[in-house]
Structure 1
Amino acid sequence: MPAKKYKVTLSAEERQILEKLTTTGKTAAYKMNRARILLKADQHQADGGWGDQAISAALDVSVATIERVRHQFVEEGFEAVLSYKQGQQPRVQRLDGEKEAHLIAPVATELM
């Protein structure tokens, strides 16, 4: 098995935030899963962090999800992992008022 390219190393403050997040209050499921993945993958543990297969079995998430969380943590940072990304592109309006009127006009005339 090749060495991990993206290694998770949490600071004491980040670890404390994640532990609090997973043990108290109401938290979104995606955020809870990501927090648990980061806690298990942390290299600053006594055993050096869990492997992806062990995390996958323990948390019932796919290995691909674990790899994505690791990658996002290393590339974008702690806050990015715990925030939900909205769609990047705005929705394109396909019909304007005039086109919509032409679309609805035949139906409106039948109802009269």
Structure 2
Amino acid sequence: MEDVLNLYHEPYDETRPVICFDESSKALRGHERDPLPARPGAVARSDHRYKRNGKQRIHLSTEPLTGWVNVEITEKRRTIEWIDRMVELADVHYPDADCIRVVMDQLNTHKPAAFYQFFPPEYAQAYLDRFEFHYTPKRGSWLNMAEIEIGVLKRQCLDRRIYHAATLRAEVAAWQRRRNTTNRPIDWQFTTDDARIKLRQLYPIETEEDLQIHA
């Protein structure tokens, strides 16, 4: 936890960007019957029944200090999709960065060693030399600022039924373009000092005997 919090309060360095990465999903659902639009004296209404059309996976990367965000939609969420996102960060979005520092959770697909499964050793090592991975603690995913952007995406773009994957991709792409034109960095306020006060139950409790030993 403190590793991530300390990272968030480092000054901006374009050669060592801090990127938060997280994943979510969107169930594709359509109306069985056309919804009734709002009219004077009546609100819009939708039938509670719907048609299922599978699920799509959302992969979101964001640079909190600049407000940049990138979203990719895939059918599956496997290690190869995670590798693709990291390669995209390195080759497309941050090709000139000395070190890309990525904050993410401990999902079993987030395995740096997996680079060796998909690339020859020299290429795998070359990619890994450009990354520095920081993991949020278990049950501490709220420390990942990518969750904030996913929340915004869901409220502004995904809060309705979408039936086709192509429609989902188009809607998310439009949201991403609008979001990136606003240049809204995330103002993270929670610090390590705050954690040691507000989350002190997570820290080892020193007894009087422990304090005497340290003295």
| TM-score bin (small chain) | under 0.3
With a CA cutoff of 8 Å and minimum separation of 6, indicate the structure with the bigger relative contact order: 2
Q: TM-score, normalised by structure 2?
A: 0.17
Q: TM-score, normalised by structure 1?
A: 0.26
Q: Which has the larger radius of gyration?
A: 1
User: Which structure carries more helix by proportion?
Assistant: 1
